[in-house]
Structure 1
C-alpha cells in the first residue's frame, strides 16, 4: 500500500458516528444504547433508527465521543459479541 492509499488517521477526541445493524426486536435499540454507554458514559442518549424495506432488520445510528482506537475496538467487539448485532459500520 502506498502512502496515498493509506486510510486517513482519525484525530482523537472526536465525534464518531456508528451504524449498528441487527434483526428487528422491540429492545434492539436499548441493547445497542446500553453497550454504547459502557464505552462512552457521557453519551447523550440520542440515536436514530431505520427499518429495512421489508421490516426484518433495523439500523441504529449513534454518535459517540471517541477517545481513541482502543475504545472503538472495544465497542465494536462488545457489539459483535452481544449476539444481537449483525454488522457495525
Structure 2
C-alpha cells in the first residue's frame, strides 16, 4: 500500500477544502439578526454575502433559523467561525 501525502489538517477532517459548507444558526427573531451574524462570519469568510443566506421563522415567530453557505478554505477557518457564532449574543444554536 502506498502512503498518501496528507497534511496534518487533511487528517483531522473528512472535508476537502475548499468546499461549500452550510452553517445553520438559530437565534431570537430580531431585525438585525441576519446582518449581525453575517458580519461575524465575514471576519473569517469575507466573500460571504446576504445572497448566501436563507432564513426561516419558527412556527410562533419567536426564533429565526438561518442557513449560510460559505466557501470554507480550512478547518481552522470553520473553527473560528463556529467560535465567533457560538459566542455571539444573538445566537442560540449553531450546527
TM-score with structure 1 length normalisation?
0.86
CA-to-aligned-CA distance 1:2-55 (integer Å, 9 cap, x gap)? xxxxxx700011000111100001100110111111111112331111000011
- What is the number of residues matched between the two proteins? 82
Question: Which protein is bigger by CA-based radius of gyration?
Answer: 2
Partner in structure 2 of residue 21 of structure 1:
26
Taking only aligned residues, the RMSD between alpha carbons, in angstroms, comes to 1.2
**Partners in 1 of 2:71 and 2:42 — Cα distance?**
11
In the other structure, the counterpart of 1:30 is 35
TM-score, normalization: structure 2? 0.81
Gaps of 5+ in 1: 1-7
Distance in structure 1 (CA, Å) of the matches to 2:91 and 2:84: 9
Select which of 74, 80, 85 maps to 1:74: 80
Contact 2:21 2:72 in 1 (8 A): yes
